[in-house]
A and B are shown apart, each in its own frame.
Chain A
Amino acid sequence: MKRRRLIYLVRDVLDTQVLDRKKRAIGKVDGIGLELRDGAPPRVAYFESDAVTAWRRFGRRSGRWAARMASRWRGPGHPYRFPWLRVRELDIDMEIDVDVERTPAFDFERWLREHVVRYLPGGRR
């Protein structure tokens, strides 16, 4: 670390594009989880990339609606959370040390690929 840099969680982190280690888009930072500890200052426990979290921030009703939609098709592992430790770079985008194909954030993408795109012409290439 060459110099200290001050970042603001809401201004600089929330809604930032999250990329995996090959710079593929995972999603955005939809929520930030803080951990309150006895006798110690709070700290950032995890970041969350999850559509339901995002829609909850928009409004109560849209949050409920998103949760209902999501419960129909998505598997375990939601909401998708990752700790600071995974963050490799934070500039305009946030790069994290994972393979997007293995994250639950890609569930919908995978589902579309396997259930829809595959059956369309040219969809298997």
Chain B
Amino acid sequence: MKRFLGIALGIVTSIGGFLDAGSIATSSQAGAAFGYSLLWALALGTVCVIFLVEMSGRFAIASQHTITDAIRKRFGFPALVVPFALTMLVNLLVLASELGGVCVALELATGIGFQLWAIPVAIALWLLLWVATFDVVEEGTALLGLVTLCFVVAAWKLGAEPAELARALVTPSLPPDERAHYLFLAVSIVGATIAPYLFLFYSSGAIEDDWDKSYLTPNRLIAAGGMLFGALISMAVLVVAALTLKPEGIHVESYEQAALMLLPAFGRWGFWLFIVSLAVACFGAALELSLASAYAMAQTFGWNWGENLRPRKAARFSMAYTVFIALAALIVLTGLNPMKLTLFSMAITAVILPLTAMPFLILMNDRTYMGSHVNSRFSNIVVALIVLVAAVLAIVSIPLEIIGSR
């Protein structure tokens, strides 16, 4: 029974990591601009992230090490520096996007400009990490994250056609016009779905929670169930946007426009549900992202780390996320449109994905770490293929988007 609860909790927890500024921004824009037709990108990303998350849990269980730690040892510190620096840079942009999402939600609720919220939100985020233990962070975000189920309810109330959805999920298509923007959104969706911080966080979490071999099956269920659950909500966002914003011809350029999408399903309450969902999802993701980045930093340099340690016992680790949050708040303060920032961060995520995913795949096949739990050839191929295709598409579509958006 306890094990069952653990699995249920793990699945719910995954939403916190899954639904974030990235998913809300990319899904709502994709739905508003192209209807259901980008659902395949979400499906592709979800398949890949299920594999990656399961692997990172299995890696932690089999080797009792986190991914970053092992990459450093296997490939050497000098080889890790560049991928590490790039990942941290992208993490910073994504964290700024998440903070921006919370700030915009507060702006929508109060009318006070989002930049003014950057510092209070950053302080709240920091304080929570500073005083709370790992479980509080993980479970708190999970429970609050359940509010985002309102998108699923809305999709159902609006009468989404299951047959049509299923077709769009499995058939990639290319529209006659706006192809560059379509590809850019596809890449951003994949980037938002397969965020590297997600599986880095997951492997550190497995170590923090002392997972042993008895967790191999729960790990599989949590990875698949949690990611599918998260994907279901992202999908609902896209579907609701397609059903409500597209017919009105609303092109989502900012969160203010996206906030209209729940009105047809819930009336006046829809506006507030959107605000709360946005704030909660982004805040939860910001928590996990700050921790994931501090983990990566500590594990790259061999520092002592752990969210369960008092800041005094892990000063460098605690200061790492402190500085990180401060920098992200500065980016929000510059007043960049948070939604644009989010979309670009997600597309860049897709570009750098191979830098973490490929060395990780090599480790997953290394018997020194994995013993008998090495990857099957099938999962190697699935992950390598999706990650490489997404990166190539991203490299092609980012310049096109920049030219096109002028």
Contacts and interface: CB of A to CB of B under 8 A. Distances in A.
Interface in A94-125: 100, 108-110, 112-113, 116-118, 120-125
Given A25-B304, A58-B78, 20 more contacts: A14-B76, A17-B69, A25-B298, A25-B302, A25-B303, A27-B303, A28-B73, A28-B301, A54-B77, A59-B78, A92-B64, A109-B316, A112-B315, A116-B319, A117-B312, A120-B130, A121-B130, A122-B130, A122-B131, A123-B311
A117 B77 contact: no
Interface of B: 63-65, 69-70, 72-73, 76-78, 81, 127, 130-131, 298, 301-305, 310-312, 315-316, 318-319, 368-369
Contacts of B310: 122, 125
Interface string A1-38: 00000000010001111100000111110100000000
A109 B303 contact: yes
Contact of B72 (A24, A28, A118): A28
Given A28-B301, A116-B315, A117-B319, A92 B65 contact: yes
A57 interface: yes
Nearest to A26: B302
Contact of B302 (A18, A118, A124): A18
Interface residues of A, number: 34
B68 to A, nearest CB: 11
A15 B74 CA distance: 8
Contacts, number: 77
A58 B303 contact: no
B130 A17 contact: no
B78 A92 contact: no
Interface of A: 10, 14-18, 24-28, 30, 49, 51, 54, 57-59, 92, 100, 108-110, 112-113, 116-118, 120-125
Contacts of B301: 27-28, 51
Contacts of A49: 302
From B73, B78, B298, B310, name the one whose CB has the most chain A CB atoms within 10 angstroms: B73
Contacts of B78: 57-59
Nearest to A118: B312
A116 B305 CA distance: 17
Nearest to B65: A92
Contact of A25 (B65, B81, B305, B318): B305
B77 A58 contact: yes
Q: Which of A28, A100, A118 has the most CB of B within 10 A?
A: A28
12 contacts: A10-B76, A14-B76, A17-B73, A25-B302, A25-B303, A28-B72, A92-B63, A92-B73, A92-B368, A109-B303, A117-B311, A123-B312
Nearest to B76: A15
Looking at A25, A49, A58, A110, the one whose CB has the most chain B CB atoms below 10 A away is A25
Contact of A122 (B63, B65, B72, B311): B311
B316 A92 contact: no
Given A25-B304, A92-B65, A108 B316 contact: yes
Contacts of B305: 25
Contact of A15 (B77, B303, B311, B369): B77
Query: Which A-B residue pairs are the 4 nearest by beta carbons?
Result: A28-B302, A112-B315, A25-B304, A27-B302
A15 B72 contact: yes
A112 B316 contact: yes
A40 to B, nearest CB: 30
